Amino acid sequence: MRRTSQCLGRIGLLVVALLGCAVWPAQAQAPAASSSEDWVKRLAGLETAPDLDVVALRHQATERVKSRADTQSLKRPLVAPHLLKLPQLVADIQFDADAAVVRPESYRVLGRIADTLTHPSLLGYKFLIVGHTVSTGRRDINLSLSQRRADVIREVLINTFKINPKRLQSLGLGEEQLLDSARPASPANQRVHLMTVGTTIDPNAPAVAPAAAAPAKAGTHKPKR
């Protein structure tokens, strides 16, 4: 009887472990364990630049929120599914609650993004920063907040890390394109997408430093003054 109880206990622990693994795929998008080379690879490989109208996408998301269509977040279709076909990575950037203020600890992540964007193989590309929010509170406020946060990330990359502004666009989709649709309130839905959207031939693009040939270490891109 004692052995039977022990066996049942082990089976119970195994079931709990398997259930715990079921939520890992969404969390696996977190970039913490990704190397700098992996970030570069994720953003490389754009074969054909998409016919992308960021202003039209903003308008589309705004109109859907205003019309109060698709009120149930679990059943809400993606507002811009074609974006998922682009080379991209997901960055976990922390903000102050209900505000577009980047927390100090997230500047290291922004430094890694700057390192990635200035890698020799990506210098000729343009990128779209897409902000998201969790599905709590008012949809219109979430949409506005995500746009302001995407704008702030763009401003920090331009003003602090000196990324060419012609290479960056920003778009906020609020809760209209959840990263983890099975769990609308999950913190995973507050992460930021960085997508490769086109190429640029710009004489003002930053020159490649001699040391840039080697893979950049995480967060080595320092703010310029």
Within a domain: 12 = no
What CATH code is carried by the domain that includes residue 116?
Answer: 3.30.1330.60
Separation CA 27–CA 88 (nearest Å): 16
pLDDT tens-place string over residues 107-123: 999 999 999 999 999 99
pLDDT tens-place string over residues 170-194: 999 999 998 888 888 888 888 899 9
CA dihedral defined by 20, 23, 24, 27, rounded to 10 degrees?
-140
Within a domain: 74 = yes
Within a domain: 218 = no
Please give the pLDDT value at position 127: 98
Separation CA 198–CA 126 (nearest Å): 5
Burial class (CB in 10 A: 0-12, 13-18, 19+), 58: middle
Judged by average pLDDT, the poorest of 6-20, 61-75, 88-102, 167-181 is: 6-20
pLDDT tens-place string over residues 8-65: 444 343 333 333 333 323 333 444 457 888 999 999 989 888 999 999 999 999 999 9
Cβ neighbours around 99 below 10 Å, total = 12
Within a domain: 14 = no
**Overall pTM surpassing 0.85 (yes/no):** no
Please give the pLDDT value at position 4: 45
Within a domain: 197 = yes
Within a domain: 219 = no
Tell me the average pLDDT of the chain.
80
How many domains in the chain? 1
Range of the domain at 118: 25-213
